Amino acid sequence: MRGGEGWTRPWWRGAVFYEVYVRSFADSNDDGIGDLPGVTSRLDYLKRLGVDAIWVTPFYPSPQKDHGYDVADYYDVNPEYGTLQDFDQLIQSAHERRLQVLVDLVPNHTSDQHPWFRAALSSPDDPHRALYYFADGKPDGSPPNNWESAFGGPAWTKDESSGQWYLHLFAPEQPDLNWWNPDVPKEFEKILRFWLDRGADGYRIDVASALFKRKDLADQPMVKDPMTGQAKPDATFAIIDQPPVHEVYRRWREIVNGYRPDRVLVGEIFEPQRQSRYILPDQLNMAFALIRAKWDASLWKRSIDVDRHALHGPGQMPSWTVSNHDVVRQVTRLGGGFVGRQRARAALLLLLGLPGQVFLYQGGELGLEEVNLPDDARQDPFFFHSGGKQRGRDGCRVPLPWHKGQPNAGFSKAAPWLPMPAGWDDFAVDAQAGMAESMLVFHQRVLALRRPLSGSLPNDFKWCPAPEGVLVYERGPFRVAVNFLARPVELSSRGRLLIATNPMVRRRADRLSLPPNSGAWLDLAGGI
């Protein structure tokens, strides 16, 4: 049973996961902020949608400087989001519906309000300093090295009382933990057990490859950017991704297997070249194959191939995804409006026909677009730390519209934490449910069709010859065809149409007609 695989196929192979961004999903007490009882109240919606599992973003006590990815207490629930009993209720209700629940674990950094960091700042001699990276600056008064924060600016902030600097790869309110100190892994084993004991089915691990930084804290060499001609830090110089991180995941695998071998560990690792060192029977089950290519057949084909060839373990297939709470919404990326939505449907057929897991992000099933929020409504630290140059990630985090015609689209009676644009309720769940051509019903139909296929079709696929601008692949008797072009195409194809992105897709005689930006699933054997 090593690595969670027994004689039978574990539930997560080929499963569909749905990311719940708690703050924006559903608000149970009308304070404008989504919460855990809100999630519980909408589990039937998720079940009807057809997902197997949810990944719930961080709900721990937190000053919310990075919306929960700055954890002040790993063993509790933020009062804004509910209580530990609400968490237990969520687990129980999810399990009653045969939905699995992944908790988001944030091991790379704590909040600056975590008791460890507060103690660390209390005195230059405090032993808690060893749990973080504190270092002296350079003789010229600059930070210890030239590392940059992912949110812009130096990755170091000066602790004025001691004159030393501390490291934060993200916001200054998110100091990085020093995993070389054995007390850090020890604490996280406790945290891991805490939520497993409460019934969690696994974890999504935040910034999973970054836990250990290179010990010498050396400057990243500068290289010339071929595009701009300007000097920039050499990204191939490894400051993260240090070998002992694998020991940590081997240990976590053992712990998780000790509960039930089919509990899953999902690493937030996007770079395909890193994944094969982590996605192994004795470490993590999966990472993300995030496809953000622009709408071009050859770019999508290349991205899919890079991701599928990145994994080497037996039977391993990528976990396909197109969006999450950190990236511009897919419909907007693909051109916005009607065209963007048609392309998003076609992309869904393309990816959901592939072997592997799928991660959906809330609101994708409603066809929501990125919202261009006014500056004074923005909350993302990325926006502030870049001096407004980066628009930040609030635009994909606007709360979900549930009811047409209700204030705030039925999300809350109070003003939501991010304002909803006018007309947002046109996308509401109740406006789309039961509407044959809606984005929501399309998602429900695709997921319902996919369910029996994912266990019965071969765990592999092959590309078929197709005209430029069109992708066609087959998995045994199952064929997927997508037209990326702005003009219709006719392909020679047999088979029965299982589903298509729009009603103008036709299968007649030995032809398949694909209108612009459309796609189809076909059954070649008549038995699927």
- Residues carrying an active site annotation: 206, 268
Which residue, judged by CB position, is nearest to ligand NOJ in the bound state? 69
Q: How far is the CB of 373 from ligand NOJ (least distance, A)?
A: 17
Pick 112 or 206: Cβ nearer ligand NOJ: 206
Count Cβ atoms below 10 Å from residue 126 Cβ, excluding itself.
16
State the helix-helix crossing angle for 183-197 and 244-259, rounded to 10 degrees.
30
Amino acid occupying residue 134: F
Pick 116 or 402: Cβ nearer ligand NOJ: 116
Pick 69 or 424: Cβ nearer ligand NOJ: 69
Amino acid occupying residue 483: N
CA distance 414 to 64: 19
* Region near Ca ion per CB under 5 A, out of 34-42, 319-327, 488-496, 505-513: 34-42
According to the binding rule CB under 6 A, does residue 207 interact with ligand NOJ? yes
* Region near Ca ion per CB under 5 A, out of 24-32, 152-160, 318-326, 478-486: 24-32
> Which does residue 66 touch among Ca ion, ligand NOJ, none (CB within 5 to 8 A, set by kind)?
ligand NOJ
Among 170, 179, 249, 300, binds ligand NOJ (CB under 6 A): 170
| Pairing verdict, β 462-463 and 53-56 | unpaired
Among 326, 327, 391, 469, binds ligand NOJ (CB under 6 A): 326
Distance set, CA 8 to CA 35, 101, 256, 261, 513 (Å): 36, 21, 18, 12, 40
Q: Which two three-digit tokens encode residue 276?
A: 């094969």
> Which does residue 33 touch among ligand NOJ, Ca ion, none (CB within 5 to 8 A, set by kind)?
Ca ion
Instruction: Reduce the DSSP state of residue 248 to 3 states and report it.
Output: helix
According to the binding rule CB under 6 A, does residue 206 interact with ligand NOJ? yes
Q: How far is the CB of 410 from Ca ion (least distance, A)?
A: 14
Among 29, 41, 257, 459, binds Ca ion (CB under 5 A): 29
Q: Which two three-digit tokens encode residue 365?
A: 């099933």
Query: What end-to-end distance do the CA atoms of the chain give, in Å?
Result: 31
Pick 27 or 380: Cβ nearer Ca ion: 27
The DSSP result for 375-392, as a single string, is GGG---HHHHHTTTSS--
Q: Which two three-digit tokens encode residue 436?
A: 């044959």
Number of residues that bind Ca ion (CB under 5 A): 5
Contact 310, 273 (CB under 8 A): yes
Identify the CA nearest to 5 among candidates 230, 315, 232.
315
> Which does residue 207 touch among Ca ion, ligand NOJ, none (CB within 5 to 8 A, set by kind)?
ligand NOJ
Q: Tokens 């006018």, residue?
A: 422
Contact 457, 355 (CB under 8 A): yes
Pick 86 or 474: Cβ nearer Ca ion: 86
The DSSP result for 249-292, as a single string, is HHHHHHHHHHH-TT-EEEE----HHHHTTTBSTTSBSB--EE--
Contact 311, 447 (CB under 8 A): no
Q: Which 215-244 residues touch ligand NOJ, going by CB under 6 A? A: none
Pick 106 or 446: Cβ nearer ligand NOJ: 106
x/- string (CB under 6 A) for ligand NOJ, residues 248-277?
Answer: --------------------x---------
> Which does residue 29 touch among ligand NOJ, Ca ion, none (CB within 5 to 8 A, set by kind)?
Ca ion
Contact 81, 36 (CB under 8 A): yes
With residues binned 3-state (H G I as helix, E B as strand, rest as coil), the percentages for the chain, rounded to 5, are 30, 15, 50
According to the binding rule CB under 6 A, does residue 66 interact with ligand NOJ? yes
Q: How far is the CB of 20 from ligand NOJ (least distance, A)?
A: 13
According to the binding rule CB under 5 A, does residue 35 interact with Ca ion? yes
Among 69, 320, 427, 521, binds ligand NOJ (CB under 6 A): 69
Four-point Cα dihedral 42, 56, 390, 346, nearest 10: -60
CA distance 344 to 332: 9
x/- string (CB under 5 A) for Ca ion, residues 388-427?
Answer: ----------------------------------------
Binding site for ligand NOJ (CB under 6 A): 66, 69, 106, 170, 206-207, 268, 325-326
Binding site for Ca ion (CB under 5 A): 27, 29, 31, 33, 35
